[in-house]
Structure 1
Amino acid sequence: MKWTSFFRTVQAKLIIVYVLLILVAMQLIGVYFVSAMKTSLTSNFTEDLHARAEMLSVLVAETLVTGDGDAGEDRTESLGTLVNNLFNISGAEIQVLDASGRVLTTTLSSHNNYIGRKNTQTVVSRALQGIRDNEENVIDEDNVRKKVVAKPVSSGGKIVGAVYIAASMNELYTTMERINNIFISGVMIALGLTAVLGVILSHTITAPIKELTRKANAVAEGDFRTKMPVHGTDEIGQLSKAFNYMTSRLRTALSENEEEKEKLSSILANMSDGVVATDELGRIILVNKRASLMLGADESAMTGRHFAVLLGLDVEEAETMLSGITASTLLQIHPQGQDGSLVIRVTFTPVHRRGHGGTGTIIVLQDVTEQEELEASRREFVANVSHELRTPLTTIKSYAEALDDGAIEDPELGGRFVGVIQNETERMIRLVTDLLHLSRLDSSEAPLRKQLTPIIDVLEEVADRFSFQMQQKHMSIAVIVERGVPEVPMDRDQIDQLLDNLVSNALKYSNEGGSVTLAASLVEKGVAISVEDTGIGIPKKDIERIFERFYRVEKGRARSMGGTGLGLSIAREIVKAHGGDIELESEFGKGTRVTFILPLVQEERGYS
């Protein structure tokens, strides 16, 4: 357990790092040195064999040219004398072979039985073919590694025999082993010295750290008067200075902590909203970032000012807020440098300190603009729905009472009254259907079923659906699609409904003899599709609100034409669900053009 804890210390880690660095360095040097030495010794050994074989091939060339018979016996004896006396190599076998590969003489007495037999080794065959660079490494039956060299013997440009040398490499490998042992001994000595130096060096680093640890534990126990001795300007000395500075700052901070504790806890409890802290006179002493954003002023500029000036409160109201009673109020402010106004709920909470009474006030600012706008939108929506339903219901009730009073007895009058009731009922059904559709779009109940669809097919089908109604008003409808417009990912049913709404509006608000143009073109954000008419147009003052729900330019006329005031709102929601944009351009008395853009990138999203 003791050794385990020691190896977790910085001192042990430093020693291990130093030892590993030296070990890796020595290993790399050793691998390179031994490899280079082995290559050099092997190369020298091989070159020596080649040189001896080359010289022997020159000397035996003349002897091998001698004919058979007595001269042949003399030749064999001469060759034996030559290879045994002049070219005797320790631990090596030298053979001289004739042109057919038969052994004429050998330096190894145990291989005398090879004389007269053919040497079929590859290097010999290559040498008899005239190839001079023939060598290979072999291990014989005694497990001895040997280098084999063969050289051709030529006379008058003709191969008359070969020289074969097989030399043992044991002495070379013995030399390499001695070198390795010397290197390993040097590595072990170096590692031992490194470990000793590592212990000494690591101690000079870890001793101050251990002392600093003891001092830090003392500070943690509450002894803020302890100090670290500074012995130099190195990193350890700088750390000691920083430690001493920290203890002095801690003493100062703790002396101020008691006074600020309750105030800071109140501020931190409300940091999700804007928080302003004031003194007992109402002057601002602390502001968080959220409050400065709400009020549109820098924190430094707000410090020292009275909170009533920033919030726009009068003197009486400000004094009431400082009276020590928690209060809340709604304020509408206009932040500096920002467009529009904000509705803020301001909550005043007094701060008390034991024995001193009230010491200030915490003001919490909550931005409720969105909630107020949503509530107003809901009230307006309910009022609009109530109005739109009340009108047809009142008409139905009136005509139903008239029929009940006897108008049903008159066939012509009764039929007309029934027709009015049917028309108003259908208008209510359309209104409820549109409201349900808007509700599904708002709540994302049904995801879009997008498919790649050719734009030309969509626009031509819309034109076909309205062709009969166009003919009745003597109007024309045209489809224009730029070349190169690709297929677009879309929910076909939703886009068909969108285009039906737009073309229906163009038909309703165009005079006889007018025209409607459906166009599609490729733009930067996707594919732009437009519906343009030559109708009565929309006044400029109404264009900004035209996509609002239940908004009508001419309320009486729109209602008489069967409109619900929700068509363009539904169109906008469908386009938003596809990730696109929609805009309307119009000139009163000349016509209107509605353009929406569908992106080409298919996104996995539902209604928004």
Structure 2
Amino acid sequence: MHKFRTRLTLIFMVLIGSSVLIAGLFMAQMLKESHIEALKTYMQRELRVILVTLDWNKGGTEAEQIRYYTDQANRLRNSADARITYIRADGKVLGDSDHDPADMENHATRKEVMEARENGTVGSDSRYSSTIGRNMLYVVVPVKDDGGQIQGYVRLAMSLQEVDASIKKVWFVLLLGLLAVFVIAVLVSYRVAYSITKPIELITKVAHQITNLNYKARVHGRKKDEIGQLGYAINRMADSLQLQMNRILEDESRLKSVLENMTSGVMMIDRDGKIVLLNPAAEDILGFSSQELLGKKFDEAKQQFDFTQLIQECIDVREHIRDEMIFYYPSERILEINLSPMSLNEEEWAGILIVLHDITAVRRLERMRSEFVANVSHELKTPIAAVKGFAETLLAGALNDKETARSFLQIIFDESERLNRLIGDILELSKIESKRIPLQFSPIHLQTFIGNCLHVMNAEAIKKSIDLEMQADETIYIEADEDRLRQILINLLSNGINYTPEGGKVKVKVDSLPGGEDGAENERVRLTISDTGIGIPKKDLPRIFERFYRVDKARSRSSGGTGLGLSIVKHLVELHKGTIRVESEVGMGSKFIIELPIIH
């Protein structure tokens, strides 16, 4: 911008200087011409005076005439203050005030003489005189007889030295004026250039800032001229760009937030087959970070072969493809893959958008639902078959034998009770899993509460000579739903009694666990229900809380168990925001460890 300002200043200076110089040249030329015209007029008057006093009919020899006219020229020279020359009609110089006529060449071809001869009045010329050695102005008038015939010429020559001196003075003044004008022109030009370029410079800076994404930059100025209108247009453009960029950033932020918080993986492949987008969920699903995959071609990204082939198929057919696939890295999962081709318009191919859904849990739930239906059907079928079989036997005539009839009716009653418990547990589990059971939390004194539960189970324990023990600090309280907590404890105590041989022991121990950095809000209570029973094989421990899962199926059915008790216990513990786990060794007994928060 400084270079532009300098160039603009120089242009103004050249224009002003050229104008002044041309005007000076014109003035000098006009002054010179005016000076010469005035001098010509003066010399013509002098020549007319000389003509009046001249006797051109002087007789005698040529030498005498030369001497006579030379004397006349010398005499008039002082009064005219000019060089006087007498020229005969044929161009012969008869007399000259400044030079010997004998040494002078014929003047018939001199410009001023020729001009006087042609127009018959006056002739003039200005040139450098080699005889005198200076610029001279020559004016000639013809001498005519009574018949109008030219007899000769009288020439008056005056030096142009004064004219040249005057012109030099004019040039000196002109140069001084030009210098002054240049100085003023520099100041004025710089000021004008500055007033023009400064706003442009500011507008250019603002434009550069806008180019560098600083959309808050504005042109400040109140001028109403074209530059002011340009600044106003730049400001409006910046306002529009800022508004659009804010919208774009908001949309980008929303899109980024959506992509980062999606549970489904999103992957985008461009027209060249390169991976250009990968959200965090896709990183987790595929087991690779975005730094490892972005910019690589999909067939070079270390993905399993089936997935790569599916992408290639979508590129080839350019149609939507949906498929399910088992991925083995970083862990075994079932994925639903949706591949959708993208186009910028109807013809231009843009790439592929891939959406990955982890449906492992869904398929597991479907399998569990199917197994649950199968297990429910199987569990219901057994008591119903028993009831139906013994009822048919009674109807066939067994009613006549009272002892047999009574035995069969007892079996029918027991099986119907078992069927009732099974249906009750199924309904209970269904309500718990759907979270349709509202919990009523209240303070519970654990020592008293556990004592009551042990009292309830005491009769059943006495039948097998099993000792029930409790170890609990009397200061421990917990906030929980009393009925559901009782259901948890009774279920676990019942299992402990059922799977412990006669003479064994079932114990309930309560420990208070300290809180973390957050204080009492993280304080928890641990309930440990241990027995000296048959124990659980290690292979069965991971599935012990599944519905209808039995370690010893024959013994479970003989004890009247439904196979849903531990599943109900696990769900009730989780509703209390607690955890449950089991530790067991075959022949050494089992421990069910529950941890619950003291306050909800």
Normalized against structure 1, the TM-score is what? 0.53
Give the counterpart letter for 1:532 in structure 2: S
| 1:305 and 2:305 aligned | no
Distance (Å, rounded) in 1 between the aligned partners of 2:562 and 2:435:
22
Mapped to 1, the partners of 2:531 and 2:455 lie a distance apart of 17
2:365 maps to 1:371: no
Gaps of 5+ in 1: 1-206, 230-239, 258-264, 604-608
Residue in structure 2 matched with residue 451 of structure 1 by the alignment: 442
- 1:479, 1:517 within 8 Å by CA — same for their partners in 2? yes
Alignment of 1:427-442 (within 5 A): 427-442=418-433
8 Å CA contact 1:267, 1:362 repeated in 2: no
The residue aligned with 2:393 is 402
Q: Which amino acid in the other structure matches residue 298 of structure 2? A: H
Aligned to 1:333: 327
**Deviation of the 1:268 alpha carbon:** 11
Residue 403 (structure 2) aligns with:
412
Residues 306, 457 of structure 1: CA spacing in aligned structure 2 closer, same or farther, 3 A cutoff? same
Q: Answer whether contact 1:485 1:527 (CA < 8 A) is retained.
A: no
Describe the shift of the 1:274–1:587 C-alpha distance in structure 2 as closer, same or farther (beyond 3 A): closer
Alignment partner, residue 468 of structure 1: 459
The answer to whether the Cα contact below 8 Å between 2:447 and 2:476 also exists between their aligned partners in 1 is no
| Cα distance in 2 for residues equivalent to 1:266 and 1:311 | 29
Please give the alpha-carbon distance, in whole angstroms, between the structure 2 residues aligned to 1:501 and 1:509. 12
Deviation larger for 506-515 or 459-468: 459-468
Q: What's the TM-score once normalised by structure 2's chain length? A: 0.53
Matches within 5 A, 1:144-293: 272=262, 273-280=264-271, 282-293=273-284
Matched, 1:501 2:491: yes
The match for 2:582 among 577, 581, 584 is 584
Partner of 1:529: 527
Q: Give the residue type in structure 2 aligned to 1:597.
A: E
How has the CA–CA distance of structure 1 residues 276 and 575 changed in structure 2, closer, same or farther, with 3 Å as cutoff? closer
Q: Is the Cα–Cα contact under 8 Å of residues 455 and 488 in structure 1 kept in the other structure?
A: yes
The structural deviation recorded for 1:270 is 8.2
Instruction: Provide the C-alpha distance between the structure 1 equivalents of 2:481 and 2:256, rounded to a whole number of angstroms.
Output: 51
2: CA distance, partners of 1:210 / 1:378: 76
Q: Which amino acid aligns with 1:501?
A: N
Distance 2:199 2:364 in 1: 65
| 3-state secondary structure, aligned to 2:306 | coil
Is the contact between residue 454 and residue 487 of structure 1 (CA under 8 Å) also seen in structure 2? yes
Change (3 A) 1:227 1:589: closer
| Runs of 5+ unmatched residues, structure 2 | 1-197, 221-230, 249-253, 515-522
Partner residue, 1:320 = 313
Query: For residues 523 and 316 of structure 1, do their structure 2 counterparts lie closer, same or farther at Cα, with a shift above 3 Å needed?
Result: closer
Residues 176-211 of structure 1 deviation map (CA, whole Å, 9 limit, x = unaligned): xxxxxxxxxxxxxxxxxxxxxxxxxxxxxxx98997
Per the TM alignment, residue 295 of structure 1 is displaced from its structure 2 partner at its CA by 1.0
Aligned residue type for 2:397 = G
Alignment of 1:513 with 2:503, yes or no, is yes
Matched, 1:349 2:343: no
Q: Distance in 1 between matches of 2:575 and 2:345?
A: 59
Inter-CA distance 368–526: structure 2 relative to 1 (3 Å threshold): same
Could you tell me whether the CA contact under 8 Å between 2:524 and 2:595 is conserved in 1? yes
What is residue 177 of structure 1 aligned with on the other side? none
* Paired position in structure 1 for 2:381: 390
Cα RMSD after superposing both structures: 4.1
Does the CA-based 8 Å contact 2:259-2:279 persist in structure 1?
no
Give the Cα separation in 2 of the matches to 1:392 and 1:420: 10
1:485 matched to 2:475? The reply is: yes
Aligned equivalents of 1:288 and 1:389: distance in 2? 48
Question: What is the identity percentage for the equivalent residue pairs of Structure 1 and Structure 2?
Answer: 33
The reply to whether residue 566 of structure 1 matches residue 564 of structure 2 is yes
Aligned to 2:413: 422
1:595 offset after TM fit, Å? 2.3
Q: 1:506 to 1:292 in 2, by over 3 A?
A: closer
Q: 1:347 to 1:557 in 2, by over 3 A?
A: same
Render the CA deviation track for 1:7-53: whole Å, top value 9, x for unaligned. Answer: xxxxxxxxxxxxxxxxxxxxxxxxxxxxxxxxxxxxxxxxxxxxxxx
Compute the displacement of 1:433 (Å): 1.3
Q: Match of 1:304, as an amino acid?
A: K
Provide Cα deviations, 1:83-125, integer angstroms capped at 9, x if missing partner. Answer: xxxxxxxxxxxxxxxxxxxxxxxxxxxxxxxxxxxxxxxxxxx
Q: Summarize the Cα distance change of 1:574–1:294 in structure 2 as closer, same or farther, 3 Å threshold.
A: same
Partner of 2:555: 557
The whole-number CA distance in structure 2 between the counterparts of 1:334 and 1:209 is 65
Kept after mapping to 2: 8 A contact 1:485/1:522: no
Secondary structure of 1:551's partner? coil
Q: How many residues align?
A: 362
